[in-house]
Amino acid sequence: MKLYEVIILSIPVKILNLIISVIPAYFLWNWIVPDIFSLPEMGLLQMTGLFILIQCLIGRGFISVNAD
């Protein structure tokens, strides 16, 4: 399988993974954080951007391919 095929096939998996991780974090943030720290509620798009930023800073990046 060629590299571009792997990247194209991994994009839907990355999007599904992002959705699965963002939705619970979105509800938890808006339920807990505004009451405890007096911070504003976040929108779903803002939470998605925050997750992508954290993933790029801490993880191996948003798109990573193992070339084994």
pLDDT tens, position by position, 21-59: 899 999 999 999 999 999 999 999 999 999 888 888 887
Tell whether pTM > 0.85.
Answer: no
- The CA-atom distances, in angstroms, between 1 and each of 6, 7, 13, 52, 68 are 7, 10, 17, 27, 11
The answer on pLDDT for 13 being more than 60 is yes
How many other CB atoms are found less than 10 A from the CB of residue 22? 18
Instruction: Scan for tokens 């339920």, then name that residue.
Output: 31
Residue boundaries of the structural domains of the chain = 17-58
Q: What SS3 state is found at 40?
A: coil
**Cα–Cα nearest to 43, from 63, 23, 14, 60:** 23
